[in-house]
């Protein structure tokens, strides 16, 4: 095995903003380790997320709630070593941002390990935290719609924003977070028309997962893209390994080009 030597183009928040302005779609993928990060960034994935989905796909828990800041910091360290220049985002895990000072302290841990942006789950209640972090140089990705850290409050992993009033609330709160300084909004499991409305209404880049084809970028979980996670996959999941003629590298490249040319997600992988 040889040590990483390649250096690719560096993606920053400005790259994503320019892509939004020019209408070029960007791809994102979760990453948890050195080789995964290397392969994904080498295949052209623009954003790597050290997601707290690691609680399920790496640790085997039934939710992301048991993940700690130490777990996340460890995986950020591993991913940073393999990353060839994708924007590296890390999740602040459950209860690591329950006060403003906790959020600063824990975000600083992840940034020192190599994260370039932190992701938090929630709506307008996070406005002050978002302002505090971004004013101190920590870019924020606000994760809205289905927020898995609140699975017990939501009563399950269900599509959000089907009710037009709930959809309007998500839009209003996304604007509050954008005004508070959020650099990116990630929207999970909402009808495609709501994903598109958010994307058209916000100035910041919008990343979708199960939010239709109308968002600026798409994200998938590494294990879902390769069909590795046991059990029934969510509707928005596509196994790119199944159609690859070049193993994992081919699957990653196919994902990147399907996002770029707008063929993923299609209606079969969207909530209409
Ligand atoms: O933790 C994670 O992997 C995520 C993605 C599902 C967006 O938040």
Q: Is the CB of 52 under 6 A from ligand 1?
A: yes
Ligand 1 atom with the shortest distance to the CA of 91? 1
pLDDT of 10 above 70: yes
**Residue 2 in domain:** no
pLDDT tens-digit readout, 51-67: 999 999 999 999 999 99
The mean predicted confidence, pLDDT, of the chain is 96
- Is residue 31 within 6 Å of ligand 1 at its C-beta? no
Cβ of 219 closer than 6 Å to ligand 1, yes or no, is yes
pLDDT of residue 2: 57
Whether residue 188 lies inside any domain: the answer is yes
Q: Determine the residue of 64, 149, 235 to mutate for testing ligand 1's pocket, defined as the one with the most ligand atoms within 8 A of the Cβ atom.
A: 64
Residue 214: how many other CB atoms lie within 10 Å: 19
Spatial separation of the C-alpha atoms in residues 239 and 225, rounded to whole Å: 5
Please check whether residue 13 is in contact with residue 88, taking contact to mean a CB–CB distance below 8 angstroms: no
Residue 7 is assigned to a structural domain of this protein: no
In this prediction, residue 5 has a pLDDT band, given cuts at 50, 70 and 90, of: low
Number of separate domains in the chain? 1
Contact, 118 vs 109, CB < 8 A?
A: no
pLDDT reported for residue 4: 54
State which ligand 1 atom lies nearest to the alpha carbon of 148: 8
Q: Measuring from atom 8 of ligand 1, which residue has the nearest CA?
A: 51
CA 108 – CA 137 distance, rounded (Å): 10
Looking at the domain assignment, is residue 95 inside a domain? yes
CA–centroid distance, residue 18 to ligand 1 (Å): 24
> Alpha-carbon Rg of the chain, whole angstroms?
17
What distance in angstroms lies between residue 146's CA and the mean position of ligand 1's atoms?
10
Give the per-residue pLDDT at 55: 98
In a domain, 200, yes or no: yes
Measured over the CA atoms of residue 169, residue 170, residue 175 and residue 179, the dihedral's sign is positive
pLDDT for residue 9: 78
Has residue 43 got a pLDDT over 90?
yes
Which residue out of 113, 173, 188, 196 is catalytically annotated?
188
Which atom of ligand 1 is least distant from the CA of 207? 7
* 188 catalytic residue (yes or no): yes
- Identify whether 1 is part of a domain: no
Task: Confirm or reject: Cβ of 91 under 6 Å from ligand 1.
Answer: yes
Q: What is the CATH number of the domain that holds 152?
A: 3.20.20.60
Show the domain range for 125: 13-269
Q: Is 159 touching ligand 1 by the criterion CB < 6 Å? A: no
pLDDT tens, 77-109? 999 999 999 999 999 999 999 999 999 999 999
Does pTM top 0.75 for this prediction? Answer: yes
* Confidence at residue 8, expressed as pLDDT on a 0 to 100 scale: 62
Task: Flag whether 246 is in a domain.
Answer: yes
The reply to whether ligand 1 has any atom less than 6 angstroms from the CB of 121 is no
Q: Peptide bond before 132: cis, by omega within 30 degrees of 0?
A: no
Mutate to test the pocket of ligand 1, among 29, 37, 51, 233 (most ligand atoms within 8 A of CB): 51
Any domain includes 4: no
């Amino acid at each position: 095995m040889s040590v990483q030597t390649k250096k690719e183009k560096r993606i920053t928040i400005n790259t994503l903003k320019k892509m939004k302005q020019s209408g070029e779609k960007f791809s994102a993928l979760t990453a948890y380790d050195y080789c995964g990060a290397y392969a994904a960034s080498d295949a052209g994935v623009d954003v790597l997320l050290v997601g707290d989905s690691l609680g399920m796909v790496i640790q085997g828990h039934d939710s992301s709630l048991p993940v700690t800041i130490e777990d996340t910091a460890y995986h950020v360290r591993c991913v940073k070593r393999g990353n060839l220049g994708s924007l590296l985002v890390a999740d602040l895990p459950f209860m690591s941002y329950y006060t403003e000072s906790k959020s600063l302290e824990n975000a600083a841990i992840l940034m020192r390990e190599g994260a370039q942006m932190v992701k938090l789950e929630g709506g307008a209640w996070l406005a002050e935290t978002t302002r505090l972090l971004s004013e101190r140089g920590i870019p924020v990705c606000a994760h809205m719609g289905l927020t898995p850290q609140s699975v017990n409050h939501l009563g399950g992993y269900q599509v959000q924003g089907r009710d037009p009033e709930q959809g309007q609330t998500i839009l209003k709160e996304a604007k509050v977070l954008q005004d508070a300084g959020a650099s990116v909004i990630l929207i999970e499991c909402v009808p495609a028309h709501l994903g598109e409305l958010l994307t058209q209404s916000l100035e910041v880049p919008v990343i979708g997962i199960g939010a239709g084809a109308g968002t600026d970028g798409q994200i998938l979980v590494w294990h879902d893209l390769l069909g590795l996670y046991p059990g029934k996959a969510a509707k928005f999941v596509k196994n790119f390994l199944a159609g690859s003629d070049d193993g994992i590298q081919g699957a990653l490249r196919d994902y990147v080009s399907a996002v770029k040319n707008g063929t993923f997600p299609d209606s079969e992988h969207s909530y209409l």
